[in-house]
Amino acid sequence: MVHMRPHALVTGASSGIGAAIVERLLRDGWRVTGISRRAGLFEHPAFDHVSLDLADVGAIADAVAGIAPTALVHAAGMLRVGHLGLLDHEEGAAMWRLHVDAAERLANALAPRLPKGGRIVFIGSRTASGASGRGQYAATKAALIALARSWAIELAPRGVTVNVVAPAATETPMLKDPSRADVAPKLPPIGRYIRPEEVAGAVAFLLSAEAAAITGQQLVICGGSSL
């Protein structure tokens, strides 16, 4: 019997957590379509790249129209910080578009095409429970939990799971973004930041057959930060 190679659509594929997820899935034998504004460094026969700025949410449905994956992983993200009284509403709206609106449009387009055993994973954040100076960002990540739990209920009869992987501060370009200078990342109690490959490992597990009974959940990878 010939088994089809599983196919994942991964956003934010050019750097950080998204790139680590692409690397892990390719190593595990997946076919991967990566979405990002610029092409990543992947030269692999099982990797395809779609150049797309996810902030242009109106272009998402057409961009994925010809793609029928077995899994969707939305890892694209941005962080803008600001304390109440000094909030930049445009930056808040930009985070909402990238994290929530894009997730909604991707899932709306792709979920009907996912096969039995299909998977949806959103990259959230430990800050979804609230964090000083990151209220707008935290709100978008909290919204992903609500979407995941709602869609998990809808898709359960089809054997499709929807989950969120929520890391604490992770060693990515976002961690060093100068725009967050007045809201420094907190070092987890384990004495180091989370590594992108650790987040990718959790995503790989949730995409596996062994995780078929896990749906509507948020897996927090915090290095003890939430203790």
- Residues known to be catalytic: 137
In residues, how long is the chain? 227
CB 125 within 8 A of CB 194: no
CB 74 within 8 A of CB 50: no
Tokens at 222, concatenated: 């915090």
Which residues make Cβ contacts (< 8 Å) with residue 83, sequence separation at least 6?
Answer: 132, 133
Tokens at 147, concatenated: 């979407």
- Give the C-alpha separation, 117 to 119, whole Å: 7
